[in-house]
Amino acid sequence: MPDERRRGSFPSSENGQGEEVVSAGLRGIVESLVAARDEGAPVVLGVPRSMEGVLGGVALTYLAHSDPSSTRVCDRKELQPGLLERVLLVSEASEDELVPLARRVWQSLGQRCGAGCTNRILYACASDDPNMPQVVSRYVRLSFSLGRTVTTSLAHADVLAIDTLARQVSSECEKTRQFARFSHLPSGGWFCSFSPRANTLPLCAQHFSRRMRGDRFCMLDPIHGVAVFHEAGERTARVARLDPGMARQMGERASDVDAEERKFQEMWATFYRSMELPGRDAASRGYDLRIQFMPKRLWDSLPELAKTPASPYAGWASKPQGTLGQQRIGSA
């Protein structure tokens, strides 16, 4: 699709000055992409699994005027080359050099296609789906080709693919906002460890910064090795990538709670159990409605589902009562 490629190219590369925006570390990859294009060889480009990595990778294929039909963008850690495919990898040393390229693609997309397009990309890039880099790459090319109409081309295969990823991530973000649970640390401040099925903490950090502006808190995602740090009074939080050792060390703080914290967790469990209404449970419905909204994979981190001592008054309103005359068993 030569027309599409030309329309989506960087203006600088259209003028034959594409190399000027590429650092020395990435120039070799662009040259290899150009060589593959000239020889008609299929290429798989391995990039870091991040928005910067994927958009930077797409930028490299634009700069090389690669043929989209024979160029794949993949996570470099999960890369599996196809038959006859040439493998090109963005090295860890060159990772930071992708950032200015990614920023350029991001800004161009915003101007050309609007926030509806960039929002989809933002959410899709947080997905754990192995095909994410290629799905995003195809959508970026389509967006540059169609302009603002990409947001209304809802039945296009590439739009459907990215919509599916973005919807999954959006749903996982909501679960993060719903089910992340904080504990008060004996040393002061709040801590939360949450294991989502997408890299949602960077997308939800602002939500928690607003909600807990006056507090110092830390959120940990041990699966994706990401932590969010917020200082009391700050408007924003800082997001950091952690190595596995550091993530494990931080995760151990989750169980570091004092008696006051345990008391609050028990009170929450008491309240939770009190909310159940008789005659509406799974047996009465034929299915468990709760699991649809609160997946079992998250239950271990929810204090309301932990076994805690019950109050002697638990469940009093769910038991059939007499009418008058029985002794009152409590008082104000």
Interface positions, 86-125, toward other proteins (CB under 8 A) = 114, 116, 119-120, 123
The 3 state secondary structure assigned to 137-191 is HHHHHHHHHHHHHHHCCCCCHHHHHHHHHHHHHHHHHHHHHHHCCCEECCCCCEE
Residue 98 burial (10 A CB sphere; 0-12, 13-18, 19+): buried
Q: How far is the CB of 217 from other proteins (least distance, A)?
A: 9
* Degrees, nearest 5: CA angle 105-108-109: 85
- Least gap, CB of 153 to other proteins (angstroms): 5
Closest CB 312 distance from other proteins, rounded Å? 7
Site for other proteins in 217-236 (CB under 8 A): 233
**Residues of span 156-175 touching other proteins by CB under 8 A:** 156, 160, 163-164, 166-167, 170-171, 174
d(CA 229, CA 151): 34
Is 180 a binding residue for other proteins by CB under 8 A? The answer is yes
Position among 37, 250, 272, 301 found at the interface with other proteins (CB under 8 A): 272
Are the C-beta atoms of 122 and 204 separated by less than 8 Å? no
Which of 21-29, 55-63, 137-145, 279-287 is the region at the interface with other proteins (rule: CB under 8 A)?
A: 279-287
Least distance from C-beta 56 to other proteins, angstroms?
23
Taking the complex as a whole, the smallest distance from the CB of residue 291 to other proteins amounts, in Å, to 9
Decide: 162 and 124 in contact? Cβ < 8 Å: yes
Question: At its nearest, how many Å lie between other proteins and the CB of residue 82?
Answer: 26
Q: Show the site string, 284-303: x = touches other proteins by CB under 8 A, - = not.
A: xxxxxxx-xxx-------x-
70 belongs to the binding site for other proteins (CB under 8 A): no
Cα–Cα distances in Å, from 240 out to 225, 249, 296? 8, 15, 28
3-state secondary structure of 76: coil
Which one of 11, 275, 300, 307 is in contact with other proteins (CB under 8 A)? 275
- Residue 271 binds other proteins, judged by CB under 8 A: yes
Give the containing element (helix H, strand E) for 262: helix 259-274
List the end-to-end C-alpha distance of the chain, in Å, as a whole number.
Answer: 78
> Which of 82/293 has CB closer to other proteins?
293
Binding of other proteins by 195 (CB under 8 A): no
CB of 232 to other proteins, least distance (A): 11
| Residue 312 in contact with other proteins, rule: CB under 8 A | yes
Using CB under 8 A as the binding criterion, the count of chain residues that bind other proteins stands at 91
Tokens of 60: 């490299």
- For the CA atoms of 106, 76, 9, 127, the dihedral, rounded to the nearest 10 degrees, stands at -40
